[in-house]
Amino acid sequence: MKKNAALWAVNIISFLLFILLSITGLINWLVLPKGYELRGSFLISIRHFLIEVHQWAGSIFIIIVVVHVILHWGYIRARLAKSGTRI
């Protein structure tokens, strides 16, 4: 049961990080102005903050994906063994 709880937590965290990455990426790409349009505006602070959040969320997301693969490693090995691939 403990492994199921860990898998559930990893799935929820990865989903939330994916949503955060999507929102911060889309806001920076589509909403906030780029380059010299930001000069003298408080929007540059928002843009830098969102970029920082996006980068940290991406780093944590990569770690969570690695944990997800580790938790599913038995299943991955079983499927590869069934298909004849050797690990």
Q: C-alpha angle with apex 17: 1 to 52, nearest 5 degrees? A: 145
Boundaries of domain holding 12: 2-83
pLDDT at 30 over 70: yes
pLDDT tens for 32-78 read 877 776 677 777 788 889 999 999 999 999 999 999 999 999 999 99
What pTM was computed for the model?
Answer: 0.83
Residue 12 token pair: 């929820």
Q: Is the pLDDT of residue 85 over 90?
A: no
Provide the domain count of the chain: 1
- More confident call, 31 vs 36: 31
CA 51 to each of CA 21, 32, 60: distance values in angstroms, whole numbers, following the listed order: 10, 11, 14
The confidence score (pLDDT) of residue 38 equals 67
